[in-house]
């Protein structure tokens, strides 16, 4: 059996057009519960919600956060409303060139690691203070705090896994009270960026494969299986971890990501993910 979670300002208006029973209702969201997984009505409901520009996801009936122990999230354009390398590049006067390269990388058109190195080369000579300025520009994505607070309240450990940069991830993780981060690192010498980048701890660049391996190791360190993990991101670099997670969510994802993810948030904030779990519905109206 499955539940259908519909989220958005017109969710209740859509519900009035559907011939369904056993519905939970709360502001901006409805949950249609206990449908037979083979019911033809599921596709009809999903299509209707998408036409109404609502977020809609089909989840396991009674899906509980108690079955999960870890969540890993991309940072740029997922946890924060920013592509950090583009912001740094803009400060240094090479913004347009780097932004175009970033877009190609996130669409999956270029191999991530060498393309990241090519972009970072354009930052050579920039004062290290650009990183501090980018931290100031790193506004949280709507719903980020609600999502992380929900996870913490239910004992789920949270980590940033990002192809972005450690100095910025550290600040974001601390702001949200997350458990840690694994990211790439800009090399700095004499107060300036050298135009070089390394992976975590000076190792290999954290790319899509690296993110998946990091997820595997974090699960093992926390005594968990991959099926007990939740992952979300927007770009091609997030594909592998999204595919192997127990719940993998494309968040405002590029087409290559959305077509491969079992779950998607197209319109709302990260807090849409909270409503996947029955614990978020304890105060809902149930009919």
Annotated catalytic residues are 74, 76
Give the neighbor-by-neighbor strand order of the sheet with 229-233: 192-198, 180-189, 157-165, 70-73, 229-233, 247-251, 263-265
């Amino acid at each position: 059996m499955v539940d259908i979670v519909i989220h958005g300002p017109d969710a209740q208006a859509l519900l009035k057009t559907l011939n369904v029973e056993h519905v939970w209702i709360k502001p901006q969201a409805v949950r249609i519960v206990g449908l037979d997984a083979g019911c033809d009505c599921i596709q009809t409901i999903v299509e209707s919600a998408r036409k109404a520009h609502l977020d809609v996801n089909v989840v396991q009936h009674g899906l509980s956060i108690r079955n999960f122990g870890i969540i890993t999230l991309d940072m740029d354009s997922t946890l924060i409303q920013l592509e950090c390398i583009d912001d740094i590049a803009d400060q240094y006067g090479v913004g347009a060139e780097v932004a175009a390269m970033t877009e190609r990388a996130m669409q999956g058109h270029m191999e991530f690691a060498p393309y990241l190195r090519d972009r970072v080369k354009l930052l050579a000579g920039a004062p290290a203070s650009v990183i501090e300025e980018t931290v100031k520009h790193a506004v949280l994505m709507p719903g980020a705090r609600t999502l992380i607070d929900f996870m913490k309240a239910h004992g789920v450990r949270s980590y940033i896994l990002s192809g972005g940069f450690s100095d910025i991830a550290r600040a974001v993780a601390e702001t949200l009270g997350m458990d840690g981060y694994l990211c790439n690192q800009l090399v700095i010498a004499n107060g300036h960026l050298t135009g070089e980048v390394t992976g975590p701890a000076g190792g290999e660049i954290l790319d899509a494969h690296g993110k998946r391996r990091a997820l595997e190791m974090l699960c093992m360190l926390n005594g968990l299986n991959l099926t007990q993990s939740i992952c979300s991101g927007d770009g091609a670099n997030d594909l592998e971890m999204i595919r192997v997670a127990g719940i993998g969510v494309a968040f405002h994802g590029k087409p290559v990501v959305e077509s491969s993810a079992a779950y998607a948030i197209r319109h709302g904030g990260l807090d849409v993910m909270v409503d996947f779990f029955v614990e978020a519905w304890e105060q809902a109206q149930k009919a």
